[in-house]
Amino acid sequence: MPRFYADLRNIFVEWTVGLSIVSDSNPRRYRRSADVVCRQVGSESILVPIRNNVGNLDSIFTLSPVAARIWNLIDGTRDADAIADDVTREFEVDRDTAAADVAELLSSLEEVSLILSAD
């Protein structure tokens, strides 16, 4: 089961398949897929893909607090740079690290169709 993790310097995904890499500068805007819900369980945020009104419990994604904040910033109006700017302001992380981490998480979420291009 994929699990998203993050700390102040790194966001990565535990996968059995490889990740595609995107550049640190990404002008695309993203929106969350309508086929996924995010639920807060204790201190964790959990993404559950929904297909035909049924949650797919085999594909649950657990987000760390930083990844959950990035998820909340994916609203169709912000591009990756704007999201990285917010992460830089809200967490003790330099801009380059935030941009790389945001790009990696966006790429991973897009790869499994949890986010879509809003452009």
92-109 tens-digit pLDDT: 899 999 999 999 999 999
Q: Which two tokens stand for residue 70?
A: 């990035």
Q: Give yes or no for residue 2 having a pLDDT over 60.
A: no
pLDDT at site 4: 44
As a whole number, mean pLDDT of residues 32-53 equals: 85
Q: Where are the domains positioned within the chain? A: 26-117
Write b or e for each residue in 26-58: b if 16 or more Cβ atoms lie within 10 A of its Cβ, otherwise e.
beebbebbeebeeeeeeeebebbbeeeeeeeee
As a whole number, mean pLDDT of residues 9-18 equals: 35
As a whole number, mean pLDDT of residues 10-17 equals: 35
Residue type, 47: L
Q: What are phi and psi of 69, to 5 degrees?
A: -65, -40
The packing angle between helices 80-90 and 95-111, to 10°, is 130
Q: Give yes or no for residue 30 having a pLDDT over 80.
A: yes
26-117 — its CATH code? Answer: 3.90.930.60
Higher per-residue pLDDT: 22 or 112: 112
pLDDT at site 58: 64
